[in-house]
C-alpha cells in the first residue's frame, strides 16, 4: 500500500473530509488555465522573491524546450501569502480550484507553511516546501507534504556533529522572538542537552533595541567556545566581525536561514570568514543563473515535480506517490529522496567560509 493510500484509509476511518472540498462549488466556474496547460503552483511570501521566481521559470522553460509532457506545456502560476493573516490558505485554495495546479511548491515561513500544508492535505495535492525548516510541519504524517531543505532537527544534528569534531565545549545560542527562530532554538537546545548532558546558554536579543556590546558581554560572561546563530538579521554582520576581533577562538555556526540571509543582502562572504553554516551542495560557478540557495532549492523542487509528471502522469495521488517513493538523481543540490514524514534525506550539508568563499566541508 502506498504512502498516500495508507493515509487516506486512516483519514477516512477517523475524520469526515470537509472544509476546502465543500467550497469548491463556490469558486468561479471559469478557469484561468488554458486548455492543455499543465500548471504548477508557486506560493511565495510576496513578489519581491525575484530570484526564486526566476529559478522556477528557468526550470519550466527548460522542460518546455525539451518537449513538455506529451506535447503539452508546463505553466507556472504564482500567488503570494502577503496581506491579512490566512492569505496563504486562501491563495492555496485558488491555486487548486481556480488554477487546477498539479502540485504546489512553497517558499514560506513556518506559520504560512502550515496553512498551505493543511489545504494541500484536504485536497490531496503534493505540497513541497523550499524554505520553512520548522520540524512540526512534517510531524503529522501527511503524505502530501515534503520539503527539499533540511529541517531544524537535521540542521541541529549537523552542527552538533561539527562541534564535537572541534573538541566540544560550552555552547551558546542567539535567540529572538521570531516564530521560526523559536523553533530552531528549541531544536538546538534539545540536541545540545541530549548530546552533552547540559543545556546551552540561550542569549535573548532585543531586536527593537539591539546592543552589540551587551551581546558580547553575555558571550564573554558565559565563557563560550561555540556560538550558534539560527536566524538572519542585518546587524549580525557587524556582531560577527567584532567577535572575531575580540574573541578569535570562538567558533560560530549559522543555520540555513542565516546563510540565505547573507545571500539575499549580497554583502559578500568576507565578513564571515571562518564561520560554519548550513547550505546546499551545488557548484556555484557552474550554475551562475541560480544566484543563491533559496533559488537553487526552488529550481530542484520544480524539476522534481516536472519529473514526477513525466514519469507518473498528471493524477495528483500518482504524483505524490512517485515523488515520495523514488529517488530523484538529477538534483543540482544532490539526490533527493524523502523519509516517511516527508523530510529530505541527507540534506544537511555544512559549509565553511574560507578565503572569502563558501567551501563544502561535510555532507551525508
Q: What angle do CA 335, 358, 57 make, to 5 degrees?
A: 55
Residue 254 belongs to some domain of the structure:
yes
Name the pLDDT band for 1 (thresholds 50, 70, 90). low
pLDDT of residue 3 exceeding 60, the answer is no
pLDDT in tens, 204-258: 998 888 899 999 999 999 999 999 999 999 999 999 999 999 999 999 999 999 9
Tell me which residue range forms the domain holding 268.
152-282+349-362
CA 178 to chain centre: 16
The kind and range of the H/E element at 358 are strand 357-362
Shared domain for 215 and 239, answered yes or no, is: yes
pLDDT of residue 21 exceeding 60, the answer is no
Span 260-287, mean pLDDT?
92
Q: What phi and psi values does residue 61 have, to the nearest 5 degrees?
A: -60, -40
pLDDT of residue 5 exceeding 70, the answer is no
CATH of the domain at 33: 3.40.50.2300
Residue 71 belongs to some domain of the structure:
yes
Shared domain for 261 and 292, answered yes or no, is: no
* pLDDT of res. 85: 67
Quote the number of domains for the chain.
Answer: 2
Query: In terms of DSSP bridges, do strands 276-278 and 226-229 run parallel, antiparallel, or are they unpaired?
Result: unpaired
Mean pLDDT taken over the chain: 88
Shared domain for 357 and 214, answered yes or no, is: yes
Shared domain for 114 and 11, answered yes or no, is: yes
* pLDDT of res. 9: 43
* pLDDT of res. 58: 97
Span 272-291, mean pLDDT?
92
Residue 239 belongs to some domain of the structure:
yes
Q: What angle do CA 280, 281, 283 make, to 5 degrees?
A: 120
Shared domain for 140 and 166, answered yes or no, is: no
Shared domain for 105 and 172, answered yes or no, is: no
Shared domain for 275 and 192, answered yes or no, is: yes
Amino acid at each position: 500500500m502506498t504512502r498516500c493510500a495508507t493515509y487516506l484509509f486512516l483519514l477516512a476511518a477517523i475524520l469526515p473530509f470537509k472544509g476546502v472540498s465543500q467550497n469548491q462549488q463556490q469558486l468561479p466556474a471559469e478557469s484561468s488555465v488554458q486548455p492543455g496547460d499543465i500548471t504548477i503552483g508557486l506560493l511565495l511570501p510576496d513578489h519581491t522573491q525575484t530570484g526564486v521566481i526566476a529559478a522556477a521559470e528557468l526550470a519550466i522553460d527548460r522542460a518546455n524546450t525539451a518537449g513538455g509532457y506529451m506535447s503539452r506545456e508546463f505553466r507556472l502560476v504564482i500567488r503570494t501569502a502577503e496581506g491579512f493573516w490566512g492569505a496563504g490558505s486562501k491563495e492555496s485554495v485558488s491555486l487548486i480550484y481556480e488554477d487546477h495546479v498539479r502540485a504546489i511548491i512553497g517558499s514560506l515561513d513556518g506559520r504560512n507553511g502550515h496553512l498551505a500544508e493543511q489545504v494541500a492535505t484536504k485536497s490531496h495535492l503534493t505540497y513541497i516546501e523550499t524554505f520553512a525548516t520548522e520540524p512540526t510541519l512534517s510531524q503529522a504524517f501527511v503524505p502530501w507534504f515534503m520539503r527539499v531543505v533540511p529541517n531544524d532537527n537535521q540542521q541541529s544534528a549537523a552542527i552538533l556533529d561539527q562541534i564535537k569534531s572541534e573538541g566540544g565545549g560550552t555552547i551558546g545560542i542567539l535567540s529572538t522572538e521570531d516564530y521560526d527562530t523559536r523553533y530552531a532554538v528549541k531544536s538546538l537546545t534539545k540536541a545540545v542537552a541530549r548530546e552533552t548532558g547540559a543545556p546551552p546558554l540561550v542569549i535573548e536579543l532585543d531586536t527593537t533595541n539591539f546592543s552589540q556590546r551587551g551581546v558580547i558581554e553575555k558571550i564573554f560572561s558565559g565563557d563560550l567556545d561555540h556560538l550558534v546563530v539560527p536566524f538572519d538579521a542585518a546587524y549580525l554582520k557587524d556582531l560577527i566581525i567584532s567577535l572575531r576581533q575580540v574573541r578569535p577562538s570562538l567558533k560560530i555556526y549559522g543555520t540555513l536561514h542565516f546563510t540565505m540571509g547573507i545571500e539575499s543582502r549580497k554583502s559578500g562572504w568576507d565578513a564571515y570568514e571562518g564561520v560554519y553554516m548550513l547550505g546546499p551542495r551545488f557548484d556555484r560557478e557552474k550554475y551562475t543563473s541560480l544566484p543563491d540557495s533559496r533559488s537553487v532549492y526552488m529550481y530542484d523542487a520544480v524539476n522534481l515535480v516536472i519529473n514526477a509528471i513525466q514519469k507518473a502522469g498528471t493524477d495528483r495521488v500518482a504524483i505524490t506517490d512517485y515523488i515520495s517513493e523514488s529517488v530523484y538523481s538529477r538534483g543540482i543540490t544532490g539526490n533527493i529522496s524523502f523519509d516517511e514524514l516527508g523530510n529530505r534525506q541527507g540534506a544537511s550539508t555544512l559549509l565553511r567560509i574560507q578565503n572569502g568563499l563558501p567551501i563544502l566541508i561535510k555532507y551525508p
